[in-house]
Amino acid sequence: MADANSPRLPVLKTYKLYIAGALPRSESGRSDPILSPSGAVVGHSCKASRKDLRDAVNAARKALPGWSNATAYNRGQILYRLAEMLEGKRAEMAELLALNPARDAEPDREITAAIDRLVAFAGWTDKIAHILGSQNAVAGPYWNITVPEAVGVVGVVCGPRLPLLGLVSALAPVIACASTAVVISDAYAPVVSVFGEVCATSDVPAGVINLLTGSLDELVPVLAKHRDVDGAVALGAPAALITVLREGSADNLKRVVIRPEGVDLFDEEACASPAWLRDLVEYKTVWHPVGV
pLDDT level of residue 282 (50, 70, 90 thresholds): very high
What is the separation, in whole angstroms, between the first and last Cα of the chain?
91
Over residues 57-73, mean pLDDT? 97
Tens of pLDDT, residue by residue over 89-141, are 999 999 999 988 888 889 999 999 999 999 999 999 999 988 998 888 888 88
Over residues 253-272, mean pLDDT? 90
Domains detected in the chain: 13-32+43-289 (3.40.605.10)
What is the spatial distance between Cα 208 and Cα 63, in angstroms, rounded to a whole number? 6
What is the spatial distance between Cα 152 and Cα 138, in angstroms, rounded to a whole number? 29
The pLDDT of residue 3: 61
Tens of pLDDT, residue by residue over 46-63, are 999 999 999 999 999 999
Helices 189-200 and 90-99: crossing angle, nearest 10°?
170
What is the spatial distance between Cα 250 and Cα 179, in angstroms, rounded to a whole number? 21
Residue 176 and residue 209 in contact, taking contact as beta carbons nearer than 8 Å: no
pLDDT level of residue 2 (50, 70, 90 thresholds): low
If you ran DSSP here, which 8-state letter would residue 273 be given?
S
Say whether 277 sits in a helix, a strand or coil: helix
The pLDDT of residue 260: 82
256 phi/psi in degrees, rounded to 5: -120, 125
* Mean pLDDT, rounded, of the chain: 92
127 phi/psi in degrees, rounded to 5: -115, -10
Task: Decide if pLDDT at 6 tops 80.
Answer: no
* Residue closest to 52 by CA, chosen among 170, 161, 214, 188: 214
192 CB contacts (<8 Å, ≥6 apart)? 15, 158, 163, 167, 183, 185, 211, 213
In order of 20, 60, 251, the CA distances from 257 in angstroms are 24, 19, 16
12 CB contacts (<8 Å, ≥6 apart)? 41, 42, 43, 44
Q: Is the pTM of this model over 0.75?
A: yes
Task: Decide if pLDDT at 17 tops 60.
Answer: yes
Tens of pLDDT, residue by residue over 205-231, are 999 999 999 999 999 999 999 999 999
* Residue closest to 151 by CA, chosen among 263, 260, 229, 62: 229
The pLDDT of residue 292: 52
The pLDDT of residue 102: 81
Task: Decide if pLDDT at 291 tops 80.
Answer: no
Question: 132: burial class by Cβ within 10 Å (0-12, 13-18, 19+)?
Answer: middle
Among 33-37, 147-151, 213-217, 252-256, the range scoring the smallest mean pLDDT is 33-37
Q: By 3-state DSSP, what share of the chain in percent is helix, strand and coil, each rounded to 5?
A: 45, 20, 35
Say whether 66 sits in a helix, a strand or coil: helix
239 CB contacts (<8 Å, ≥6 apart)? none
The pLDDT of residue 1: 46
Residue 181 and residue 79 in contact, taking contact as beta carbons nearer than 8 Å: no
Over residues 134-154, mean pLDDT? 90
Strand ranges in the chain using DSSP code E only, listed in sequence order: 13-15, 31-35, 41-46, 134-136, 142-150, 153-158, 180-185, 209-213, 231-235, 255-258, 281-289
Among 47-51, 71-75, 259-263, the range scoring the smallest mean pLDDT is 259-263
pLDDT level of residue 181 (50, 70, 90 thresholds): very high
107 phi/psi in degrees, rounded to 5: -55, -45
